[in-house]
Structure 1
Amino acid sequence: MDLQKQIAKAHSKENAQTIAKYVGKNAQRFNELMQLFFHDEYRVSQRAAHAVSHCVDKYPKLLEPYISQMIENLKANPKVAIKRNTVRLLQKQEIPEESQGLLLDKCFEYLTSAKETTAVKAFSMTIAHNLTKIYPELKSELKIVIKDLIQHATPGVINRGKKILADLG
């Protein structure tokens, strides 16, 4: 299968699942898909991100070699679909030590931005919470940010925020 041609066919759950099924747990095919995830053309990267999500949901280890590159990609302020899929995928991954600081900075940036989407905020909150297990000194800062955030947030963010605040103590 030519992944780029398949991605160009349609932006749908069915197409993303077709691609994910083809990729399976094959690291070489996943690498091809990740090159499309990082593609300059938004439509290509957006559709690839959808397929990547399906692959990683089934085979999370496939993402490990790309975690640092995905975090670096956040510095370029990618369009919302890439940002959303990146933080969604990273909330269940072990983050390399050398990338933790950058990712944490981006998560706090997303949490405090009035323009950020609900999904990006919710996933960022989870990542920041996960990183407080490594850096407990950040718990108080995260609590302050979440308390401020949930005052004017959507129900999804409020719900996740309250769960994380309860866990933080």
Structure 2
Amino acid sequence: MIKEVLQDAESHMKKTVDVFKRELSSLRTGRASVTIFDNIRVDYFGSEMPLNQLATLSSPDATLVVISPFDAGTITLIEKAIQSSDLGLNPNNDGKIIRVPIPPLTEERRKTLGKKIQEYEEQSKIAIRNIRRDARDQSKELLKEKMISEDDEHKCEDEIQKLTDKYVDIITEISKKKQTDIMEV
């Protein structure tokens, strides 16, 4: 019983870390990366389509991303979607492909991104703590139903806290690394 509670909690905590990593990968650092376009949706015939389903994206060097649409008719739609995103990028299209130069980050933009990272970090830590609360509730419920002893319940709570500390530390480390990446000039 306790094992299932712990496995369930750890599984949810891992998913929270994965979501946190995905959110951070969509933030623009000073280097060109196709992952910054992961959250861009293009209005394609009335439905929102992910950009990577309408074009191939590549990064030939550290300051440029090249987008090659599968259908030339979508080029202006893709360009508009990039311009209206909050990435602060200006795409150039030559009729066949879109070149997106990645300018160096300004000091102001770095600070804004730093705050965004802290926001994502705090949201993830809150999610981890909520998972901890749910797992503790489950262990207390098992004790109440006399499916486990008080000693087992205390051991379970200790293990849940260890898991919580472990995953909060992982999130903090990832956040620090991303902050360092962004602050590099």
Greater strand share, 1 or 2? Answer: 2
* TM norm structure 2: 0.26
Q: Which has the higher helix share?
A: 1
